[in-house]
Structure 1
């Protein structure tokens, strides 16, 4: 196994602080125009270097051991037995169209530490991708790893999709003195969408009947009628620890409200991202606005929130992959919390706020918003699984680096045997700049745009839309060619999609590097310059600042800047 973990540092923290990380939106077949399943992910951390991981398929000799490293820190955790064969993995998707993403919810502090545990959430994801072919098998592999080797992370919501099914599993460790974790996994009903963003979301769940089984009966998970799976002690452990009343009814037990109760920050900085997505696909979410803003979380006698959003909703219309990409670019537009509309956006309407997110004035605490699109994204993707195509060409990881609102998702076939050099592990790092790396090239453009957002970002958006539409069109042609080749020569077909993916990714970075040069020339020194054909000098414009901002300057400076006749 390639020790990519040593090169990756990801500081993910739970929702009780204002430095949240990661967002997942999930789409079933019946919710998309083409019948694909999809999951989105933004890995949001101020110290995560955006790059595209790759583990090639490999056969392993009997007795081989796997070194496990914590994804966040690169710390060596221990060794576990290797399996006989591991699958090709590109980023968070494997050659069988299995994709896995996550968001950290943290949960009860007393359950965060487990001495001697080996499997952290990153290892759970990437080891499972190398060992499982579909979502149900992934649940078995992942929970078995956790049971055998312990859970070395805090609470996690994990998305698992394959070409036919979409699942959410929520996991939290048992704390010191106990091994493993308690968990619940639920399949999203076809035709629905779901989401999670650093706040646990599974509440009550079915405990009996054909739709649900405990971990003691995991051999039944492959029954398609089973849509809920949970650890056998998920409720008894909570009662033992005093998290849930001994006389509490099992049917009323809520995983999230017990192990990760939602508070103001869990709503305002986490659930609000889910609300914005749900509202975009089905504008009937006004009833949950007060909850999502943290202004009114209603509770019952157990302390459970009673006005929470549903785990999944049905979209009013089916969506396509381009729309899915755009869901990741939200800044709470169209709401009273639109980040481009208050004074914090400045005269150039920038929908970003530098950290820290919370601050105090005159003893009162305030917050900046945490929207889906954020400046500290390391990498982001839309994983798309297509069951009408063979696995070799069905899975596409639409991948980008940096802020999703200003990035470009390019198509990376998940059976590819190489990744583009511009996105490869080892090409630069968080403290090693190189203009050959996608992460740095995109950050140059994005950070320049932040300085005069309403002038520069529209140019980025136009370029982004054109390229992503072009890539969608290209994929249709590559699919057709690769499918025909696959019938004749599998090896040639995989080389074909690998070459396409790598050339597209590298060309995108070349294009974006040139784009930065164009933007810098046009907007340098506060000017807006436009070339005039046949003339040496460009047209120069200097847009005036908005009147409200000028008035604020005068209010602060008094007569200091006044012109005296």
Structure 2
């Protein structure tokens, strides 16, 4: 494929309003023996007030001397050019045609190590790697080699990297404005385990003699010694997080480790993980890097984890005065707020209103690459939206998932239609979320139920006629996405019609008074003693 093209994906960078924090994302990574069907899963929610569009980047063969523009997905600015690879692979979302999959969360790290002159921001780096890697281990090596050759321009990151057989998390940070390259460590997720990372470094100490499960830059320790971040004479083992991320204080733990805790407490309730670490208690024990879930997880289970607001815990965002009269998990930014000169923080859930998109990348060794790799994608907040599958072998995408812009509303854009539903729901959560959950469960349950049959048919086609298999999955992916899009348009319209002027229409279309919950009314009465108590007996009125 000749010519120069852009490296593009979803607009997905966000800022977490906590001191020392950066891009706000959450990843769950699940090994193949920890899932019901042998899938390797990576989830990724990117929380930013920008409209993401699902894009497909075709692979191909390239002539010697050909170059490629280096662009991130935040703007159209060209950061530079680098030599193009002889062969590149098709990427849809953040999964490529060989079932290599990625996600990320920004962890910040030591500010003095940042190098804004580095050519590769994390987004361009991820796309370059996905275009060139056939395995997760190869992807890890490419992250390192590309940064050494061209320089890394973002702050510290944790990447999720997987293929059809194994999953890894890779933590990296630049070497400062005077040196190219990164120092890094990568940990293989146990096949029967899972991990979570959410804008906070997770890797501390690690073995130096286990290349099957741990990979690292040859100078990851010596560089820390050179910079004064680690003293080998201290008698303490080297810790990546302590050396390169020393500022994870109580506020960062509150905003970031809480998401780890909430996944762990739901995936492995038998272990009764304490909330002490994420609440910032002194001397509390950190959460393990990996856990084994109590039972294998399905794709549907992981979808549910991505919709978490700490429900059923003391930090349930749908309870209390801060949830308002309708028990809404919406908390307006900034995350840190002040009252009478004192600082406070809202809870920071996995499912956030300012999410640009949420994905679940699914890769499987038991299926041909043409069928096994896909991304379950939804624009906006997962708690009010609907996932739909896009296979990496799809040859085109539905217009609704790549149309529109953030400045102008459009009924033809999946992003805007999902946002209509979410914003109506946030305002009257307890009244409207039941309707949204019915639509979610119906759509997603149908897609998950039919998935094995669709993939069995596609795998048979792939064995004899790959082109026909691609056409089959393209038509399936486009039609299911269109069905979800149309369902959410209808849902938005029906919500406006059913929940109007503070009333809820019954099955006959008659408006019924909705009122407020007794707990909210009690709060109101107690906050204004005597204000709502008229003299005399109160009778029924039509005032």
CA RMSD of aligned residues (A): 1.9
| 8 Å contact kept, 1:26–1:38 | yes
| 8 Å contact kept, 1:37–1:386 | yes
Question: For residues 326 and 315 of structure 1, what CA distance do their matches in structure 2 show?
Answer: 15
| 8 Å contact kept, 1:57–1:85 | yes
**1:121-520 alignment runs, 5 A limit:** 121-208=122-209, 211-212=210-211, 226-249=212-235, 252-261=237-246, 262-297=248-283, 307-424=285-402, 427-520=403-496
| 8 Å contact kept, 1:18–1:269 | no
Q: 103, 109, 116: which is aligned to 1:107?
A: 109
Question: For residues 159 and 190 of structure 2, what CA distance do their matches in structure 1 show?
Answer: 17
Shift of 1:374: 0.5
How high is the TM-score relative to the length of structure 1?
0.90
| Cα deviations by residue, 1:272-306 (Å, 9 ceiling, x for unpaired) | 101110111111454541111223355xxxxxxxx
Shift of 1:329: 0.6
Question: For residues 439 and 270 of structure 1, what CA distance do their matches in structure 2 show?
Answer: 26
| Cα deviations by residue, 1:206-257 (Å, 9 ceiling, x for unpaired) | 112xx23xxxxxxxxxxxxx221111111111111111125245x7111112
Change (3 A) 1:350 1:401: same
| Cα deviations by residue, 1:296-347 (Å, 9 ceiling, x for unpaired) | 355xxxxxxxx21111011111111110110101101121111111211011
Question: For residues 532 and 279 of structure 2, what CA distance do their matches in structure 1 show?
Answer: 41
Q: Secondary structure at the match of 2:476?
A: helix
Residue 217 of structure 1 corresponds to none
Question: For residues 77 and 206 of structure 1, what CA distance do their matches in structure 2 show?
Answer: 37
| 8 Å contact kept, 1:6–1:74 | no
Check if 1:33 corresponds to 2:36.
Answer: yes
| Cα deviations by residue, 1:347-369 (Å, 9 ceiling, x for unpaired) | 11001211111112233211100
Residue 49 of structure 1 corresponds to 51
| Cα deviations by residue, 1:118-152 (Å, 9 ceiling, x for unpaired) | 11111111111111111011111111101111110
Question: For residues 420 and 87 of structure 1, what CA distance do their matches in structure 2 show?
Answer: 21
| Cα deviations by residue, 1:172-195 (Å, 9 ceiling, x for unpaired) | 111121211110011112111111
| 8 Å contact kept, 2:261–2:273 | no
| 8 Å contact kept, 1:279–1:285 | yes
| 8 Å contact kept, 1:4–1:53 | no
| 8 Å contact kept, 1:10–1:73 | no
Question: For residues 36 and 45 of structure 1, what CA distance do their matches in structure 2 show?
Answer: 28
Shift of 1:115: 4.7
| 8 Å contact kept, 1:18–1:265 | no
Residue 543 of structure 1 corresponds to 514
Change (3 A) 1:115 1:255: same
Question: For residues 4 and 204 of structure 1, what CA distance do their matches in structure 2 show?
Answer: 35
Change (3 A) 1:257 1:286: farther
| 8 Å contact kept, 1:163–1:386 | yes
Change (3 A) 1:561 1:15: closer
Question: For residues 13 and 519 of structure 1, what CA distance do their matches in structure 2 show?
Answer: 31
Structure 2: gaps of 5 or more residues: 537-543
| 8 Å contact kept, 1:103–1:157 | yes
| Cα deviations by residue, 1:395-454 (Å, 9 ceiling, x for unpaired) | 121111111111111111112121221112xx1111122111110000000100011101
Residue 303 of structure 1 corresponds to none
Q: Secondary structure at the match of 2:172?
A: strand
Q: How many residues align?
A: 532
Question: For residues 128 and 336 of structure 1, what CA distance do their matches in structure 2 show?
Answer: 42
Question: For residues 9 and 323 of structure 1, what CA distance do their matches in structure 2 show?
Answer: 24
Change (3 A) 1:242 1:13: farther
Question: For residues 377 and 416 of structure 1, what CA distance do their matches in structure 2 show?
Answer: 25
Change (3 A) 1:419 1:6: closer
